[in-house]
Chain A
């Protein structure tokens, strides 16, 4: 039973490296079954044209029953996209990473969802409560209780 996560991740890794990686997504680091890093860009016309972001996936042993912890990497090389659902510390407010997570989803489907979230954005701005949230945010966004109030973007 405990072997679900590695088996599942092995399969996902195989699919991602065998060319089934979604367009605009690239695997940067996948040395173990705890943390993966993927780069992500939005193809086609969008507010984020030409920008490359990086996503960090952290997997618990209960993955995929439990959702992965997904954040945008914020360091010297990468910045979090300026988007109403993305906080400046890289935390993402997306229902599929929280209560709408389903174990049939995976790394690739999360990347595609986030791509489309960015692609459909009309206005580059931070969430309204960005400063307050970032000041008090827990290390893992999975510990935050988000209100999924707007699903238009």
Chain B
């Protein structure tokens, strides 16, 4: 398509990929010893990065206009008709042209654009007021103004006998209809369109008459509604366009207006690529799936599995862990909600002690009070119990770390505020200038970015098969985590005027190191995908498992 402007493509994506770049370069200009500082390699694309472009709303409007103009010139129709046709075909211009050339009447009808003959039964042969629009298939708005009763008795009386059928105003200021000829007063039209556009977010709106499938053309909306409603309508058309165009995606951040264009992440690539994009406002999101955020290094399908699992299981699993035990014989989960320690499993009738988990028969008369914790049979019983808990424990291990990083990332707002205050302090207590205390802000940003990565590495580790590759993965994870926690700690240290130069040096160094670790983590996982190094312990959409020959017969 003609909107990927290759000339400024690279420039744009570089700028987007690294929001800190402007600051970084200005810092290094002013301060020579800092040019090692956060200098992303501009020329070389990392293996975990993808090409994309961030578009303003106006750029999208230009694309829509260009498409529309092309249709107008080929079909010789007006702008409203072109717009309705394109929306009807889901903005697939090629298919529209093909179908239209085949059978224009059929396409027009299906798109809710009536042919020249109005549907009104008692309608006299229409005399079009504007003959010049006749050659073109046009969605002319028919308007009949009746201010005096004498007019309404004229021979060319409109379809409706008297007044507007909807509001029952017998003498409305003006009556209008679409090409179908169903006349209603302008006030009702305005109210109806407002409801559809504002409340229902609908951009393809049918005529108000029952069973009439004629769609309201754009020009009619513009003429009938106030500016606010019309601009909302234009926005809906824009969203409709973006939603129907595969290589475009709206930034999901609240009230963000940017659209990202990306052609390097087709669905088939999603098993090896995590297409994280960032809009001009700095909102990171995934181009390949609906997750509203950066989920690198975990691929979409597995990330979805994990979120689903967390959504379904976490609370339940936590509750089971803290409130229940399993019967040592049949492994049924049992909640003790009162009574003595003498348990009888409802399922297998096994009798055991809740405290030591050993069989009750060995308790003798020591009822209600278990002092046998170290006896052999009870410790054996506890072993079986713990085995059955391993899968639960395993999940919770990863979940708790995941949740911890998520929580910490959320707390970054607080951290930001704290850091800001610290930066102010530093400007007062030392001779450092504003630009020189930016190292603290950069550290906070880096911590947040890395926590997002760490968070997803735990979800990834949960689904990775045991292998040497996974061990190396966990080494990288551990190094990153250690570095991030060190940097976090540095951010919390109290400020002492004498310490400032040292703190600055330390924090700057650590930030660079953390950034490196994060890059290594992301780069290694991205390469792993391309090399097919990762194998999952669960079936993943789009990936065939090739372990047992029996199962891979397909």
Contacts and interface: CB of A to CB of B under 8 A. Distances in A.
Given A102-B208, A102-B211, A4 B166 contact: yes
Interface residues of A, number: 16
Contact of A104 (B166, B187, B195): B166
B375 interface: no
A11 B169 CA distance: 10
B160 to A, nearest CB: 10
Contacts of B209: 102, 104
A88 B187 CA distance: 39
Interface string A106-149: 00000000000000000000000000000000000000000000
Interface in A6-38: 7-8, 10-11
Contacts of B210: 96, 102, 104-105
A65 B165 contact: no
B167 interface: yes
Contact of A103 (B166, B190, B211): B166
A100 B165 CA distance: 17
A62 interface: yes
B188 A65 contact: yes
Q: From DSSP, what is the main secondary structure of chain A's interface residues? A: loop
Interface string B158-195: 00000001111100000000000010100110111001
Contacts of B211: 100, 102
Contact of A8 (B166, B182, B190, B192): B166
B169 A65 contact: no
A153 interface: no
Q: From DSSP, what is the main secondary structure of chain B's interface residues? A: loop
A1 B167 CA distance: 9
**B contact residues, range:** 10 to 19
A66 B188 CA distance: 11
Q: Which of A66, A103, A105 has the most CB atoms of chain B within a 10 A radius of its CB? A: A103
Given A102-B209, A102-B211, A7 B167 contact: yes
Contact of A65 (B168, B195, B212): B195
B166 A64 contact: yes
Q: Which of B168, B188, B190, B210 has the most CB atoms of chain A within a 10 A radius of its CB? A: B168
B168 A8 contact: yes
A100 B207 CA distance: 11
A128 B165 CA distance: 38
Interface in B211-262: 211-212
Interface string B130-168: 000000000000000000000000000000000001111
A7 B191 contact: no
Contacts of A65: 166, 188, 191-192, 195
A102 B209 CA distance: 6
Interface string B440-477: 00000000000000000000000000000000000000
A7 B187 contact: no
A74 B182 CA distance: 38
Nearest to A4: B167
A6 to B, nearest CB: 10
Given A102-B211, A103-B188, A66 B167 contact: no
Nearest to B192: A65
Given A102-B210, A104-B209, A66 B195 contact: yes
B187 A1 contact: yes
A121 B408 CA distance: 61
Given A4-B188, A104-B208, A62 B168 contact: no
Contacts of B212: 102
A4 B191 contact: yes
Nearest to A10: B168
B209 to A, nearest CB: 6
B165 to A, nearest CB: 5
Contacts of A64: 166
Given A102-B209, A105-B210, A8 B195 contact: no
Contacts of B195: 62, 65-66
A7 B163 CA distance: 12
Interface of A: 1, 4, 7-8, 10-11, 62, 64-66, 96, 100, 102-105
11 contacts: A1-B187, A4-B166, A7-B168, A7-B169, A10-B168, A11-B168, A62-B191, A66-B195, A96-B210, A102-B211, A104-B209
Interface of B: 165-169, 182, 184, 187-188, 190-192, 195, 208-212
Closest 5 CB pairs of A and B: A11-B168, A102-B210, A4-B167, A103-B166, A103-B208
